[in-house]
Structure 1
Amino acid sequence: MQTILKNKVLIRLSEIISSHENEILAANRQDLNAFPDMDASTKDRLKVDEKKIGGMIQSLRDVAELPDPEGKILYGYTRPDGLHIENRSVPFGTILIIYESRPDVTIEAAATAFKAGNRILLKGGKESLNTNMLLTQLWQQALTENGIDQNFVRYLNLSHAETQQLIKNNPYRVDLIIPRGGEKLIAFVKENASAPVIVSGRGNNFLFIDKNSDFEMAIRIILNGKQRISVCNALDKVLIDENIPDLEQKVHRLTDELLHKNIEIVGDEKINSIDSRIKKNDDSHILSEEFLAAKIYLSIVPDIEAAVNIINTYSGGHSATIVTNDDANADLFMQQVDCAAVYRNASTRFTDGGQFGVGAEIAISTQKLHFRGPLGAQELVTNKWFVYGNGHIRE
């Protein structure tokens, strides 16, 4: 598909969404009202408001502005006998996105895959059905108006059992599956899929406060990391170097700020002995838990090496940050921590395709193959060899 045509579809879809804002909000209210007992995190992911609609519109425009990843010549070679060989980027083919709660995925993730030339199958959760069905209809309107088969973007309204069979049997001949949801969904897809899978992993992100650091900066970054509780780039764990000057005073200061924001604080025995307002929890399993709640875990560690070891043992491999004034410690941390994104003196909340300048993302991969971190359109292609001859035969 030509770049100009892809971009026309994306821009037209942004216009259609803008003109159907009231209908989108009404469909989303219907979804919210159908599940009144959902937890705060799920509700935050499901809810669509004017700001989220504006984000969808902007993401479509951003993706339209990006270079087309399809058809790039990655390598070229002409043999002495005149045989010309090229390696080019090509779409995967059909991408199945399985996701929970978040209707904006229907627009933003699909737009990313579409810009790379892929067909898209969408399977959202039952709690967001009305919003997703409407957004898919808007997709199909933009496609039809530009002379493209409306099934280039298709929504699969399937039961739980039907979705399991979809994953196992691959009746739609899917080339790539991207599950975006809880650990149970991801584990089932990884275990049962008959097509390649890119895992959009969980968060459980860590921050380490080095002994040589700006503690007020650390507090600002920590509070920002808990600004939204339902997102995978939220902050869950804070490790504090025990050699930091005025340790007790600083722990009290951090505790004050977190409690002021109504964030539940838990921690190990050592930090509980410093501030009893921190609920003691010495169960190591909590270090692996992604909270998705107004909750944070604090711990005192002996040094940066211990912090790196804890992060590499328990984190989800998503994002980790160090707050430090020490260049050597920053480099050691960023080199040795095994996460998709590592930060110095900045919030993990920036791990996002739009914030990283790659436009809307289809997922944040915590795998090392074939790509890691926010997956934009540039990462949703594979490669293919094109060989041009004139009766060439190999002797």
Structure 2
Amino acid sequence: MKLLNTETKNKVLQSMMSILDSRKAEIIAANKKDLDLFDKEDRAMYDRLIVDEKKVDGMIASIQEVMVQEDPVGKIKSNKALENGLKIENKTAPFGTIMIIYESRPDVTIEAAVLAFKANNKILLKGGKEAIHSNLVLESCWHQALEENNLDNSWIRLMHMNRQETQEFLRNPTEKLDLIVPRGGERLIAFVKEHAKCAVLVSGRGNNFLYVAKDADWAQSLEVILNAKTDKISACNALDKILVDVNIDDYPAKLKELQSILEDKGVSVLVDNKVAKVLTNCPVIEDDAIWYEEFLAMKCVVGAAEDLNDAVQKINTYSGGHSATIMTRNNELALEFMDQVDSAAVYHNASTRFTDGGQMGVGAELAISTDKLHHRGPLGLEQLVTNKYYVFGEGQVRV
């Protein structure tokens, strides 16, 4: 694959920003077709599908953000001179071709492509059928930007395949794939991991937890809980499970206040057997499988924790490995929690909603990786490269 210089890549991105701005009405009109065909009862998916003027402006801003970032390709990671005279450089290099499979969100068609392209990768975009009209226009915008700069459309392509064709492509790809990023449900992720012939980097489920320790600032805890749960229910960084330490002062009163505040905001509350002794009017969990579930809805579980170790054990057993928070005034306890919890992002006295490339200073993101190789957390520009060794010699042979 041809390496493009930074100037060429940035010219494409500059063109793309102008094209999105000039075709804004067309993009919104295409999105309306998708919205009109969609079942609005699935509120989380519907929210992800919406493209309005603000959303297009956000797409333009994400491209601008990536354009001004340093080119991640060709950066020297290490430089060594060996005793035998060999000089060895380890430099960053593109993956090659990245395929991303995602649902509903047309803005991913912009954010994933801009990151992959700036990192000198070709990208195959497999969006969901519910966003087909939006994605077709956005692909057309990308192709216009590439053509204006004398580049082939193959750099950024929408996969025009149904579900069965996509599955067959994964089983028997008709072109070389170097990395696949599935962003969807566990069935999709399991299928991709089973059948892919290349590396798979999982953007896993949320199912995020928050633990209120016995010495937590209760007013602050309520504020963080409400933000994490209700700010954007369709986000993978939204809160689903709340564990309250049974040793907190006025435990019954605090549970009742938590229930009241959540329900006032329209959040339905499920409880475990211990909390049910206090919140007697809440439905009780009947199947432990609910602890594994990512809700993407105005719904949460409130459970009891005997202490920090009990909370950590529950989180590591049931969570999606995405984000987890502890609310406590004790910095040592917070650090113990953060060290022990096995999640991509761990928080002390802050909302899980910050697990986001832009909020964490990474910029636009391809996904939030819950894998541990090669990267964990927001996949930004710097994470969309691999490495290559450059070895310079003068006729050395190994003896």
Question: 1:24 Cα deviation (Å)?
Answer: 0.9
* Equivalence for 1:369: 373
In structure 2, the residue matched to 1:98 is: 101
Shift of 1:310: 0.1
**What letter corresponds to residue 17 of structure 1 in structure 2?**
L
1:63-87: CA deviations, max 9, x gaps? 1122211101111122345432211
Q: Distance in 2 between matches of 1:320 and 1:394?
A: 51
- The one-letter code sitting in structure 2 at the alignment partner of 1:338 is D
Give the letter for the 1:310 counterpart: K
Tell whether the 8 Å contact from 2:240 to 2:301 is kept in structure 1 after alignment: yes
Q: Which moved more, 1:96-105 or 1:52-61?
A: 52-61
For 1:298, the equivalent position in structure 2 comes to: 302
Cα distance in 2 for partners of 1:115, 1:298 equals 43
Contact 2:40 2:46 in 1 (8 A): no
Aligned residue for 2:277, secondary structure, equals helix
CA distance in 1, matches of 2:57, 2:219: 33
Report the 3-state secondary structure (helix = DSSP H, G, I; strand = E; otherwise coil) of the residue aligned with 2:199.
coil
Residue from 165, 174, 178 that aligns with 1:175 = 178
Given that residues 269 and 282 in structure 1 are in contact (C-alpha distance below 8 angstroms), is that contact kept between their aligned partners in structure 2? no
1:289 aligned onto 2:293:
yes
Q: Which residue matches 2:23?
A: 20
Matched, 1:127 2:130: yes
Query: Equivalences for 1:68-147 in 2 at 5 Å?
Result: 68-147=71-150
Which position in structure 2 is the counterpart of 1:8? 11
Residue 284 of structure 1 aligns with an amino acid whose one-letter code is D
The 2-side partners of 1:5 and 1:343 are apart by 40
Aligned to 1:391, what secondary structure does the other structure show?
A: coil
Tell me the equivalent position of 1:328: 332
> Which shows bigger deviation, 51-60 or 124-133?
51-60
Identity of aligned residues (%): 53
Residue 384 (1) aligns with residue 388 (2): yes
**CA apart distance, 1:6:** 1.7
Given the superposition, is the C-alpha separation of residues 345 and 177 from structure 1 closer, same or farther in structure 2, using an over 3 Å criterion? same
- Structure 1 unaligned segments of length 5 or more: list them: none
Instruction: Give the counterpart letter for 2:338 in structure 1.
Output: M
Root-mean-square deviation (CA), in Å? 1.3
CA contact (8 A) 2:325 2:352 kept: yes
Counterpart of 1:152, as a letter, is W
CA–CA separation in structure 2 for the residues paired with 1:391 and 1:322: 59
**What are the residue-to-residue correspondences of 1:225-374 with 2, within 5 Å?**
225-226=228-229, 227-374=231-378
Does the CA-based 8 Å contact 1:200-1:364 persist in structure 2?
yes
Amino acid aligned to 2:244: I
For residues 118 and 343 of structure 1, the distance between their equivalents in structure 2, rounded to whole angstroms, comes to: 33
Query: Secondary structure of 2:388's match?
Result: strand
- Do 1:267 and 1:282's aligned partners in 2 also have CA atoms closer than 8 Å? no
Are residues 1:31 and 2:34 paired? yes
Residue in 2 aligned with 1:196?
Answer: 199
- Quote how far apart the aligned CAs of 1:391 are: 3.1
Q: Deviations over 1:35-58 (max 9, x none)?
A: 235511111111112222222111
Q: Any conservation in 2 of the 1:204–1:318 contact (CA below 8 Å)?
A: yes
* 2:51 is the alignment partner of 1:48: yes
Secondary structure of the structure 2 residue equivalent to 1:280: coil
CA distance in 1, matches of 2:84, 2:263: 74
CA contact (8 A) 1:202 1:316 kept: yes
Equivalent residue of 2:374, what SS?
coil
d(CA) in 1 for partners of 2:150, 2:157 = 16
Q: Distance in 1 between matches of 2:7 and 2:327?
A: 44
Deviation at 1:392, TM superposition (A): 3.2
